[in-house]
Amino acid sequence: MTIATKIETFLHRSSWIRKMFEEGARLKAAHGADKVFDFSLGNPNITAPECFDKALAETACSCSGEHGYMPNTGYAHVRQSVAKYLSEEQGVTVTQDEVIMTCGASGALNVALKTLLDPGDEVLTPVPCFVEYGFYADNHGGVLKTVATHPDFSLDLEAMATAITPQTKVVLINSPNNPTGQIYSQESLERLGELLAAKSARYERPIYLISDEPYRKIVFDDHSVPSIFTVYADSLLATSYSKDISIPGERIGYAALNPAANYRDAVMNGMALANRILGFVNAPALMQKIVACLQGTSVDIGLYQRKRDLLCEGLAAAGYEFITPPGTFYLFPKSPIPDDVAFVQALQEELILVVPGSGFNGPGYFRIAFCVDDATIVNALPGFKRAIERLR
């Protein structure tokens, strides 16, 4: 054995998304890139806003010699800028002392879980869910437990109440959700906050609510994402600039703790330490300085809404069943046959690459990432139609 047994096991059940991405490379080499319709990876295709390019050029030219270490939580002026924006967004006064700059939302989640979890603690998450959550929990000795949602992928509070045990340390939600695009409502979050407060009192220890929000700004049809800070005190949010300003490769995001959290100082000190000892040390310095002046900025979300509508209209006409997503750039249709993996393979015969819902703990569905050019959507629709007609 040349590698750890656990990693070898993880490799066998690792991300379907990457597997499909690799399959796409093979098919493109065989058939030509213009003949393959790749909806596998949530890699934003809309160019970053012009203001990002301007800030990048100006910052790169003005920071000569400024490449030393900084506080593990990030530059003070950057955290202050984030806190000011967050205070407006969350409806709660947040200070720089509740913000830590991280290497993307995944870095924020790992820093938070490293700080909060003891070995054997459970992380409870609604499904379908992002494929990496189980790995993140395991990184820090935790165990991921899943709980079902309603047919429209909204929160099932009764199921959540049943799933919470004395071992539950974190409830991890993702809204807008990857892969479903669902946004959890204000009412459901308020009920979740009440539930967690009651369970925390019963077990005499906090159950933390973490909201993973990298798609917060990608919402359609006048929808909005409710604040978790107003519904529950022991809450954190993790987010990034990867999706809303199209810079996923730059690995910049942050974690923020509710200023009303019961153990605010201990949690923040723990996350600062975790940022260092996990090897991040600090978030990328150049990107910190850039996003400090880009709070609230995003690409033109209307472009993603147009892609969503184009895809939904075409798939509905072909007979697919789905919930029209109020957010993200993902669609999660029902597979026309029970075996979602088999249907995804049928789509591959049409040179269409999507990801089985099984990879997201959502068997019987499949995920389409529509952050692609419009021509890819239009040209793939006949293949989608042929596949469902052949197997339905």
Per-residue pLDDT tens for 283-318?
999 999 999 999 999 999 999 999 999 999 999 999
Are residues 386 and 280 part of one domain? no
Q: In this predicted structure, what is the pLDDT of residue 330?
A: 98
Specify the higher pLDDT residue, 8 or 83.
83
Asked whether the predicted pLDDT for residue 109 surpasses 90, the reply is yes
Are residues 196 and 316 part of one domain? no
Q: In this predicted structure, what is the pLDDT of residue 1?
A: 63
211's tokens = 């909201």
Are residues 145 and 169 part of one domain? yes
Are residues 56 and 32 part of one domain? no
Are residues 312 and 245 part of one domain? no
Determine if the peptide bond prior to 248 is cis (ω within 30°): no
Are residues 96 and 239 part of one domain? yes
Residue from 54, 74, 73, 70 nearest 62 by CA: 54
What is the distance between the alpha carbons of residues 34 and 25, in angstroms, rounded to a whole number?
Answer: 12
Q: In this predicted structure, what is the pLDDT of residue 28?
A: 83
Give the model confidence (pLDDT) of 196-214 as tens digits.
999 999 999 999 999 999 9
- The CATH number of the domain holding residue 310 is 3.90.1150.10
Q: What is the mean pLDDT of residues 63-85?
A: 92
Asked whether the predicted pLDDT for residue 112 surpasses 90, the reply is yes
Asked whether the predicted pLDDT for residue 24 surpasses 80, the reply is no
Are residues 256 and 331 part of one domain? no
- The CATH number of the domain holding residue 194 is 3.40.640.10
Can you give the pTM of this predicted structure? 0.95
Are residues 311 and 281 part of one domain? no
Taking the CB of residue 86, how many other CB atoms lie within 10 A of it? 24
Asked whether the predicted pLDDT for residue 324 surpasses 90, the reply is yes
Handedness of CA 100, 327, 340, 46 (dihedral sign): negative
Q: In this predicted structure, what is the pLDDT of residue 257?
A: 98
Q: Are 302 and 219 in contact (CB under 8 A)?
A: no
Q: Give the ranges where the chain is alpha helix by DSSP (H).
A: 5-12, 16-31, 50-62, 76-90, 104-116, 133-139, 157-163, 186-203, 264-277, 285-291, 301-318, 340-349, 374-391
**Structural domains in the chain (count):** 2
Q: Which of 242, 274, 291 is the last residue of a domain?
A: 291
What is the distance between the alpha carbons of residues 213 and 225, in angstroms, rounded to a whole number?
Answer: 9
Q: Are 383 and 37 in contact (CB under 8 A)?
A: yes
The radius of gyration computed from the CA coordinates of the chain, to the nearest angstrom, equals 21
Are residues 62 and 33 part of one domain? no
Are residues 225 and 118 part of one domain? yes
What is the distance between the alpha carbons of residues 320 and 41, in angstroms, rounded to a whole number?
Answer: 21
Q: Identify the band that residue 150 occupies on the pLDDT scale cut at 50, 70 and 90.
A: very high
Determine if the peptide bond prior to 284 is cis (ω within 30°): no
Handedness of CA 260, 261, 265, 271 (dihedral sign): negative
Residues in the chain: 392
Q: Which of 242, 263, 291 is the last residue of a domain?
A: 291
Q: In this predicted structure, what is the pLDDT of residue 15?
A: 60
Cα angle, residue 15 at apex, residues 299 and 239 outer, rounded to 5°: 35
Structural domain including 63 reads 50-291
Are residues 312 and 209 part of one domain? no
Taking the CB of residue 300, how many other CB atoms lie within 10 A of it? 11
49's tokens = 């806003």
CA distances from 344 to 16, 107, 333, 368 (A): 11, 31, 12, 11
Q: Which of 271, 291, 311 is the last residue of a domain?
A: 291
Asked whether the predicted pLDDT for residue 134 surpasses 90, the reply is yes
* DSSP track, 81-130: HHHHHHHHHHSS---GGGEEEESHHHHHHHHHHHHHPPTT-EEEEESS--
Average pLDDT of every residue of the chain: 95
Q: In this predicted structure, what is the pLDDT of residue 18?
A: 66
Are residues 387 and 258 part of one domain? no
